[in-house]
Amino acid sequence: SQELEQSPQSLIVQEGKNLTINCTSSKTLYGLYWYKQKYGEGLIFLMMLQKGGEEKSHEKITAKLDEKKQQSSLHITASQPSHAGIYLCGAGVMFSGGYNKLIFGAGTRLAVHP
Amino acid sequence: DAGVTQSPTHLIKTRGQHVTLRCSPISGHKSVSWYQQVLGQGPQFIFQYYEKEERGRGNFPDRFSARQFPNYSSELNVNALLLGDSALYLCASSSGTGRDDGYTFGSGTRLTVV
């Protein structure tokens, strides 16, 4: 079965600093999703990557999928307190019938101090 | 347009009781998936429904069941509650048309079993 490993598990940064979160898959990724979660709340969709080498940006957040499609990174530039939360990577995994479900990493907990 | 709606937001139940959680997908979406998120972990897939039919089921005991209604809303039922069922239950809405599906999550139902 496919597994996702996120690193680091937690991160504390000073406001204004850049940071990177990594997500490594045990198998080839066919769809990689990044979500943000405030503690105890639902998941907020950030970006989806599908093609090797693909890179997407939204405001100060950039996500990349490597050429081999087994690793993704999420980079935040000039972090702000509003970036604090849990960042989850999810992978689309096929099950019978050609449909897919999401499996998730354990998450990276980010704190941004003013 | 309303997003994914889940009810109730919080629930406290006693061991051995049963619980019903509800989800309304985004208008136009025909597929609903349920996930369980235990504190400190990523969400785990429970069920996926499309047009009232179960498409897939995760590794959960038969105490967990679900159904989808003609209006595409869904219920997750859990019988004979255990302390270990305490978690955030998330509903995800998607078009259900295939591999490239995007998933929109609701805010979740926080279930506490005492």
Q: Which of A42, A98, A106 sits opposite B41 (nearest CB)?
A: A106
Going residue by residue through chain B, which has 114 residues, state the pLDDT in tens, using 9 for 90 and above. 579 999 999 999 999 999 999 999 999 899 999 999 999 999 999 999 999 999 999 999 999 999 999 999 999 999 999 999 999 999 999 887 765 668 999 999 999 999
Contact B60/A at CB under 8 A: no
Distance in Å, alpha carbon of A87 to nearest chain B alpha carbon: 10
Distance in Å, alpha carbon of A52 to nearest chain B alpha carbon: 15
- Say what the pLDDT of residue A100 is: 80
- Say what the pLDDT of residue B100 is: 60
- Say what the pLDDT of residue B2 is: 74
Distance in Å, alpha carbon of B44 to nearest chain A alpha carbon: 7
Q: Which residue has the higher pLDDT, B93 or A94?
A: B93
| Lookup: tokens for A18 | 């850049």
Specify burial of residue A21 (Cβ count, 10 A radius: 0-12, 13-18, 19+).
Answer: buried
| Lookup: tokens for B81 | 């509650």
- Give the integer Cα–Cα distance in Å for A69 and A59: 24
Q: Which of A106, A32, A4, A6 is nearest to B99 (CA)?
A: A32
Residues B34-47 as b/e (b if ≥16 CB within 10 A, e otherwise) read bbbbeeeebbbbbb
Structure confidence by residue, pLDDT tens digits, A1-49 = 889 999 999 999 999 999 999 999 998 888 899 999 998 889 999 999 9
Specify burial of residue A3 (Cβ count, 10 A radius: 0-12, 13-18, 19+).
Answer: exposed
Structure confidence by residue, pLDDT tens digits, A60-72 = 999 999 988 899 9
* 3-state SS class at B97: coil
Q: Which chain B residues are Cβ-neighbours of A40 within 8 angstroms?
A: 88, 108, 110
* 3-state SS class at B69: coil
CB contact under 8 A, A96 and B96: no
C-alpha dihedral over B84, B85, B90, B96, to 10 degrees? 110
CB contact under 8 A, A42 and B42: no
CB contact under 8 A, A30 and B99: yes
Residue of A56, A99, A103, A108 to mutate, testing the B interface (most B Cβ within 10 Å of its Cβ): A99
